[in-house]
A and B are shown apart, each in its own frame.
Chain A
Amino acid sequence: MSDPMQNDPRLLVHAYVDGELDPAHALELERQLARDPALAAERERIDALRQVIKERLPPLPVPLALARRIDAAVGSSRTSARAFSASPSWRALAASVIVAAGLASSATWFEMRPAPAEATADMVVASHLRALMAPQPIDVVSSDRHTVKPWFNGRVTEAPRVVDLSQEGFPLVGGRVDVIGRTPVPTLVYRRRQHLISLMALPSGQSRIGMPSERTISGYHIVTWTEGGVTYWAVSDVAVSDLQAFAKAFREAPA
């Protein structure tokens, strides 16, 4: 930064509150903050502004109509027309069935490298979003776990654990098959008020129990944990506390 303006503490204090100053500059700025009340007041104003923006202007979810329009536009601009129906959920389902058929014929196929967690998280959010934008976000619609669980037979290698969480405020809505990486995985769909929660069950290849961890990708929260050789990914736009409560309820529910 050769521009003399950019050594101005009134400018650098912004980078300081953003955590963007290198340690040497940060230390120097802290010294200046300690001896310059006007600068310290400036820092408080900036902090207050950042905080109030974060609280009052949270990121907006994408309107579903827009997501559908994009899906349609991208779908129709394909050069190689395929004989899939116009419904994206049918396309997704057809694709997953093709992959599943390939899977059944090659036993070694399952020993795929686990996708890096970040890439998996992106795919989990993409699948959730894509399901939301489909005319019907679920392939099997039922609040009865004895209907949902058998539906997965033949569609994925192992039907997921399906539990009833209606007492906890998360009624079951249904299920679908998502493709994460190249693996068709069972996804259960639960509801929290008007929000859908997708719960994907990915084979983890390890039997140890991993405690829940969470992250956020463009406003969608993800809570993930490992249990019984399965890594569960719960994704939704509900409040993160609700999603944690959901994960807890699912883990504690009797099978």
Chain B
Amino acid sequence: MAGNEDDQARFRRVVLPHLSDAYALARWIVGNATDAEDVVQDACLRAFRGINGFAGGNARAWLLTITRHAAFTWLGKNRPAAMVGVDDLEEVERKELDRGLPMEGRETPEAALIAKADANRLEVAIAQLPVPFREALVLRDVQGLEYREIAEVIKAPIGTVMSRLARARNRLIAGIAAQEGVGKT
């Protein structure tokens, strides 16, 4: 008779329904499908070993937290340059401002123009976002998490989630404007 659910059954119930979310996040963080598969496999093994530590809250946020950690481990090993800290990021933005480079939110295309952006351009523009902005945007606008879930996954306050998301979107909007050659003369 089935007694306590064994680890494998628990893994199936808790982790498998959220596998596609884990895969999507990994893909957006590491940037390609093949490496994302390795990251998700690594994350799933970690999740399996830690399945008894899952207290029964939000399974999706739990798996995404583990996946994000696995993805960052992968980035640290394979793409150290992509591991921009948020402090560095603010520094970069200050310099861009000083040099008068195009900054987020400067260009204001019509909403109708944004609505016409095609999938490839969007993908490229998102891929070019620094990781802290990219992950906030992907978790919200691609994967549909609520702010408090994103806060749980990225271990940051909700206010930080909001400001990173805003900056990610502003950069994307400016990027779309630049691609379409509007807003700048």
Query: What's the nearest-Cβ distance from chain B to residue A244, in Å?
Result: 21
Query: What's the nearest-Cβ distance from chain A to residue B11, in Å?
Result: 6
Contact with A along B43-58 (1 / 0, CB 8 A): 0110011000000000
Contact of A59 among B11, B20, B122, B169 (CB under 8 A): B20
Given contacts A6-B162, A18-B147, contact A45 B23 (CB under 8 A): no
Chain A interface, DSSP helix/strand/loop, else mixed: helix
Chain B residues, CB < 8 A from A53: 122, 141-142
Restricting to A35-70, which residues have a CB under 8 Å from any CB of B? 41-42, 44-54, 56-57, 59-63, 65-67, 69-70
Contact of B20 among A11, A12, A61, A102 (CB under 8 A): A61
Restricting to A93-152, which residues have a CB under 8 Å from any CB of B? 98-99, 102, 119, 122-123, 125-126, 129-130
Are B169 and A49 within 8 A (Cβ)? Answer: yes
Query: What's the nearest-Cβ distance from chain B to residue A62, in Å?
Result: 5
A67-B20 Cα distance, complex, nearest whole Å: 10
8 A-B pairs within 8 Å (CB atoms) are namely A11-B162, A18-B140, A52-B115, A57-B142, A59-B24, A60-B20, A62-B19, A122-B17
Are B143 and A59 within 8 A (Cβ)? Answer: yes
Are B1 and A73 within 8 A (Cβ)? Answer: no
Restricting to B126-185, which residues have a CB under 8 Å from any CB of A? 126, 140-143, 146-147, 159, 162-163, 165-166, 169, 172-173, 176
Given contacts A57-B119, A57-B123, A60-B20, contact A73 B44 (CB under 8 A): yes
A4-B11 Cα distance, complex, nearest whole Å: 44
Are B17 and A74 within 8 A (Cβ)? Answer: no
Residues of B within 8 A of A (CB): 1-2, 7-8, 11-14, 16-21, 23-24, 27, 33, 37, 40-41, 44-45, 48-49, 59-60, 105, 108-109, 111-112, 114-119, 122-123, 126, 140-143, 146-147, 159, 162-163, 165-166, 169, 172-173, 176
Are A11 and B166 within 8 A (Cβ)? Answer: yes
Are A63 and B8 within 8 A (Cβ)? Answer: no
Residues of A within 8 A of B (CB): 1, 3, 5-6, 10-12, 14-15, 18, 20, 41-42, 44-54, 56-57, 59-63, 65-67, 69-70, 73-75, 77-78, 98-99, 102, 119, 122-123, 125-126, 129-130, 179, 182, 217-220
Are A56 and B118 within 8 A (Cβ)? Answer: yes
